[in-house]
Structure 1
Amino acid sequence: MKPTARFIVLHPSVHKSGGVGGSVVPSHRAWLAVLALFIFTFAFTIVTTREPATITKNTAAAAGKSKSQLPKPVFDALLHYASANATYSDRMSADEVKAVAAILHSCNTPCNFLIFGLTHETLLWSSLNHNGRTVFIDESSYLVSKLEEKHPFIEAFDVQFTTRVSELYDLMEHYKQEISKECRPVQNLLFSDCKLAINDLPNHVYDVPWDVILIDGPRGYFAGAPGRMAPIFTAGVLARSKRAGGETHIFVHEIEREVERICSEEFLCKNNLVETKDRLGHFVVGQMEANWNRFEFCPSSVSPN
């Protein structure tokens, strides 16, 4: 049992006064001593009873800060909520969501996560990459501004795509002609004039060593849509040009479509495909040394003219 502070009351000594009738008069100094002792004891009691609570609170806060990932129950709950009843075509299936979530949860440190497209899963991705760097890229400046208004903690940017789904084969011909110049696999995208390169993002986005890249936008389901040629090409270059080295996990959603399939095979490579979950392709692409005598994205790919 925890000992409690006790009050000690001292009875002051009295002396018989030589006054009339021999009345007893207490000493003023003795009473002051008793009052001082009472104040000291009261203050000591408050300090000793409050200090343990303060220590416990500070210890708990420190422990919370040291944990970078979400607690497992919260992680699972968010995952279940986002993947349940995914019946609409613009939502990911449960298996697709779990595939991305598993890679995010496996990061030794919080992930650097780049996402092309604002979708039903946007808030989920931001939550699952708790304490990590999460950046969204979308074609709609309106959607980006609304997202930042409602969720100011989310980092998002809009891009004006100049490509069209109907231009797929013309863009692939341009890439083959420029593979040793503007469309090479290792380069600084900020200064690229390749038609497939996204070069107008904020400078710091190109400096981040991205661990995971998800391509789920822009729109690509009709001929006049921007298509995902540029995001797939850009993701391939970012992974190969990664200054910190290491591998980059790249996910391409709706990979069964023509644009996504052809560009993934050309810029992410069949030999880097590790699994497919429903309509989601998962590639792991390693860094490539800036060897100016090599201009292939994939082994036995195209050769410069």
Structure 2
Amino acid sequence: MKVRHILPEKLWFVAVALGGLIAGALLILTFTNTTASQNTSTILCSLGSTYVTRDTPTRTPASATPIQLQSILHYATSRIVPQQSLSEIRVSLDVLQSRLLSRPSNFLVFGLGHDSLMWASFNSLGTTLFLEEDPKWVQTVLKDAPNLRAHHVNYRTRLDQADALINSYKSVPECLPEKATVEGNVKCKLALADMPKEVYEREWDLIMIDAPRGYFDAAPGRMGAIFSAAVMARRRKGQGVTHVFLHDVDRKVERMFAEEFLCRKYLVKAVGRLWHFEIPPVVNVTADVGATTFC
């Protein structure tokens, strides 16, 4: 998520960036019962008029959160484009928008990058948490965007172990559907067993996997993130599915582990290099007793 793409035409990027962030602000306006008859110019003029905190119990129709305003400023003055394409970003945004009609979302994002302010802005009424493999990069990003919530995470895998891991996990009982957990599961190398407590204590409505790095042999690869997302989704106790978004499915490992653990039958949308899965909790599917595969 740290790859930089520089565009020669500044005005084009500013228009796209502002459009995306304003769309996020419009979601908040819709959620707070802004009437459909309000015209666009009235909304835009009101965005900067009222600052509110995340803990404010009620919001006026003409209010934007501080992180949304910070995001608009950031992307309007930066030449760095988020890694995902506009059409890919729209997939996750549509889910967040649909969920606003019921309740704010818990959004877990594997990776901290140039698009993090955007994701947090789209979900400004909910909780967005970023997990990053590079502790120095965490400090760098939070220095400029202190309102983001991010943790450093250690990975126990290497990309060049991917084939061995997918061929051997069935021989480890703690990796199988019936016993698979994430927190403290040190026996299953695919489980991210030592993440911050907050990750395990909260149920995540959306999980974005766009990290860790997975394009050279010594990189951690996304095997553990994909496996752990699948386990957390299946062990969900609350109602509804878990939306899992996996980026870079044009790569062998991402596609292989997605088909093994996230399951083709739960794939609801594919746009560009992004796959969107809706994974039901285990109580809504066949029992895991004796199962040797996730799909």
Give the TM-score normalised by structure 1: 0.68
State the percentage of identical aligned residues. 37
Contact 2:174 2:181 in 1 (8 A): no
Partner Cα separation in structure 2 for residue 118 and residue 133 of structure 1 = 15
Superposition deviation, residue 67 in structure 1: 4.8
Instruction: Out of 265-274 and 158-167, give the one that drifted further.
Output: 158-167
Q: Letter of the 2:294 partner, please give it.
A: F
Contact 1:113 1:135 in 2 (8 A): yes
Work out whether 1:252 is the aligned partner of 2:246: yes
Q: Which residue of 2 aligns with 1:120?
A: 114
Work out whether 1:149 is the aligned partner of 2:146: no
Q: Which residue of 2 aligns with 1:129?
A: 123
Partner Cα separation in structure 1 for residue 215 and residue 59 of structure 2 = 41
RMSD: 3.3
Greater Rg, structure 1 or structure 2?
A: 1
Contact 2:170 2:292 in 1 (8 A): no
Instruction: Out of 215-224 and 289-298, give the one that drifted further.
Output: 289-298
Q: Aligned to 2:84, which of 54, 69, 92?
A: 92
Partner Cα separation in structure 1 for residue 148 and residue 140 of structure 2 = 11
- Once the two structures are superposed, the pairs formed by residues 176-215 of structure 1 within 5 Å of their partners are 176-178=170-172, 181-185=173-177, 187-192=180-185, 193-215=187-209
For structure 2, the residue ranges without an aligned partner over 5 or more in a row are 1-51
Superposition deviation, residue 185 in structure 1: 3.0
Instruction: Out of 240-249 and 255-264, give the one that drifted further.
Output: 240-249
Higher relative contact order (CA 8 A, sep 6+): 2
User: 3-state DSSP class of the match of 1:113?
Assistant: strand
Structure 1 residues 167 and 109 mapped into 2: Cα distance closer, same or farther (>3 Å)? Answer: same
Superposition deviation, residue 213 in structure 1: 0.3
Give the TM-score normalised by structure 2: 0.70
Q: Letter of the 1:190 partner, please give it.
A: E
Superposition deviation, residue 223 in structure 1: 1.8
Contact 1:69 1:131 in 2 (8 A): no
Work out whether 1:224 is the aligned partner of 2:218: yes
Work out whether 1:158 is the aligned partner of 2:152: yes
Superposition deviation, residue 145 in structure 1: 2.2
Deviations 1:136-155 (A, max 9, x none): 00110111123333333221
Q: Aligned to 2:93, which of 101, 121, 124?
A: 101
Partner Cα separation in structure 2 for residue 167 and residue 98 of structure 1 = 33
Superposition deviation, residue 174 in structure 1: 2.3
User: 3-state DSSP class of the match of 1:190?
Assistant: coil
Deviations 1:104-157 (A, max 9, x none): 111121110000011221110111101211110011011112333333322111
Superposition deviation, residue 191 in structure 1: 2.5
Number of residue equivalences: 234
Contact 1:273 1:281 in 2 (8 A): yes
Contact 2:242 2:278 in 1 (8 A): yes
